[in-house]
Every structure is written in structure tokens, then in C-alpha cells.
Amino acid sequence: MSTENRHWTLAKRPVGNGYAEAFALATETLPALGEGQILVANKVLSMDSGTRMYMTDREDSYQPGTPLGAKLIGTVLGVVTESRHPGYKAGDRVRCYGQWADYSVVEPDTTYCTKLDDAHADLKEYVGIYGANGWTAWVGVVETGAVKAGETFVVSAAAGGTGLIAGQIAKALGCRVIGIAGGTAKCDLLTREYGFDGAIDYKAANVEAELARLCLEGIDVYFDNVGGEILDAALANMALFGRVAVCGLITNYIAQGPVPGPYRFDQVLMKRLRIEGFFSPDFYVREPAFNPELARLAAAGKLRLPFEVSTGLEATPEAFTKLFTGANIGKVVVEL
């Protein structure tokens, strides 16, 4: 079978949010599949902030950088159209680590790839609540954050894919939940539509002072998605024996060099804090345990996630940019 495949490559390292200049759309004729490979017709590309780090040449990241000229990669949802792997057949719906392209060539024995169940007809649910964002939020809140009912929970990038799920899980577990997000519209949405007890517009407010006002007994768990100045504002307001669950450091991803701080690291000792990072590929295998817990909350009306959908492969740079300009509410995807 000869198939034309449009795909995005990394033409140069992005500077800031210059993805339109850094990505190049190319076309190839797909080569014949090798033994053990499958061909996946991509239906949904998951846009994930952490992917920004693979576009740099830093060597200390949790994943090797993408070489210049190589295809851009990420989590995709799709349907197998051809298989030379005994465990997969044409028609299987899969979530895998694929390419930002019309088709992904995947080697399931060496690359993350899993068949999807039939619980959700809408494929994109498998990169929302029932995918890495949902599992990351669950682990950060329940395990790393180890929240207890009655505690005060604060989450940054609270209206984004991961933060919105994390805040709702913490609320469902009995916490008082404060979200930090950019703009009054997002903050209103958090408190009016998603049950948050308070919200701070970090673009307009003094975050440290607002956290002090809203968290009179201190923050028991800070779920950090951004790092930088907001992390410092949270550290200054932690409760004794508080936990900082380090999910992401979006303010660092675009930086060209080392980022100073946190400046309030002294609080780790003063307040006897625990700070711990966690990384979703470490727990992908636990999907069968996570999804029923998340589905239970969703069925009870305690967990919802909107999607920010862009359509067509050519919309990928614009969709990816939304993560860094805050133009999204909920999970950003590209539907093909």
C-alpha cells in the first residue's frame, strides 16, 4: 500500500512561541511497514505543554530532545489501518506515542501503545479525563499531594487540561480548592462552573497576598503546573507539613538558559515541606486502576473537562501555541 503522509517536522528550535517558524509541514510516501510495526490513521493529536521541552536541545530533560529535521512526536489517538504486529489488527482503536502527521508508524514493542476499550465513543476522551492528564491529576492530588478532607488545595494553570481535573478531584475529596489562572473570565468559570472555592487572576493580582487572604490557615497542598513566581508565592503561604506536588514548570519550558529560584526555598525547612515531582509515563501502566476512579467521579457529576478543539493537521502550530498564551480552557487537541 502506498500512502501519502503529511507530517510536521522540527525545522529549527523554537524561540519563545515561534512555532509557525520552527515547524515545517512536509509530505512523504509512507514506506512499507517493518516486522512488528503498525500503521495508525491519526484522528486526534494531544497537545501537551511538556512537549515544548522536547523541542529544545537540553540534555537534562525527562526525555531526549527531538533532533532538527525529525518528525514532531506526541500522544495520538487513531485507528490501525495496517499491522505487522501479532497483537494488533486493522480497525483497532489505539492511543500511542506517534507523530504529528496524518499517519503514525508505531512499533508497539518499543514505543508506548495501547488498545482502547469501548467505554467512550468519542476518541478524545482518551486524552482528557481518561488519559495522561486525568492520571497525572489523580496521582498529583491523591498520591503525591496525599490530600485529606478539610485541607486547603491550590492549583496553578487551573483552567487548563491538567489543572481543571486536579482541582475537581481535590474538591470531590473534600478539600477547599483555590485555582490560579489568567484573566477574570477563567477565574469566574472556575468558581461558577467547576465548584472552586476561590480563584486568583495571576495576571492582575498580587498572588502572594491573595493566597494569604484566601488561605488563612496556609496551603496544605500546592499542585504546581507553572513554577516561577507563582511557585514562590505559594511557598510563602504553605502550611506546616504542606506538600508541593510538582506536575509541571511551564514558565521554564521556553527559557533559553537556567532559571533562577525558587527564592523562597527556605520555607521547605521552616514549614517542614515535602516537594515531589511526578511524571505520567511512569504510571501509564496503571490506566486500568485510574480510569474507574475517574469515571466514578464523572458519573457523580463531580468531574468534567471541556475540550479546545482545532481542526486539521495544518492547525497544529496554532493549537500548540494556545497552551502557552492561555487561549485554552480545558484540554487542547487537534482533530484530523
Ligand X SMILES: NC(=O)c1ccc[n+]([C@@H]2O[C@H](COP(=O)([O-])OP(=O)(O)OC[C@H]3O[C@@H](n4cnc5c(N)ncnc54)[C@H](OP(=O)(O)O)[C@@H]3O)[C@@H](O)[C@H]2O)c1
Q: Which stretches of the chain bind ligand X, using CB under 6 A?
A: 48-50, 132-133, 136, 157, 159-163, 181-183, 186, 225-226, 247-248, 250-251, 278-280, 323-324, 326, 328, 332
Where does the chain show beta strands of DSSP type E? 4-10, 23-29, 38-46, 73-83, 93-99, 103-106, 113-115, 152-156, 176-181, 198-201, 219-224, 238-246, 274-277, 307-311, 331-335
| Shortest Å, Cβ 53 to ligand X | 8
| Shortest distance (Å) from residue 135 CB to ligand X | 8
Map 289-324 to HEC letters. Answer: HHHHHHHHHHHCCCCCCCEEEEECHHHHHHHHHHHH
Q: Which is nearer to ligand X, 33 or 255 (CB)?
A: 255
Least separation, in Å, of the C-beta of 202 and ligand X?
A: 6
Sign of CA dihedral 79, 309, 156, 303: negative
Which amino acid, 315?
A
Decide whether 36 or 277 has the Cβ nearer to ligand X: 277
Minimum separation from the CB atom of position 208 to ligand X (A): 14
CB of 13 to ligand X, least distance (A): 18
Nearer to ligand X, 62 or 217 (CB): 62
Do 283 and 111 meet the contact criterion of CB atoms below 8 Å apart?
A: no
Q: Name which of 26 and 327 has its Cβ closer to ligand X.
A: 327
Q: How far is the CB of 48 from ligand X (least distance, A)?
A: 4
Taking the least distance from each CB to ligand X, the nearer of 238 and 249 is 249
CB count within 10 Å of CB 289 equals 11
Rounded to the nearest whole angstrom, what is the least distance from the CB of residue 187 to ligand X in the complex?
9
In order, the DSSP letters of 14-73 are --TT-HHHHEEEEEEEPPPPPTT-EEEEEEEEEP-TTHHHHTS--SSSSSPPPPTTSBPE
Which of 97, 279 has the CB closer to ligand X? Answer: 279
Angle between helix 161-172 and helix 287-299 axes, rounded to 10 deg: 70
Nearer to ligand X, 97 or 278 (CB): 278
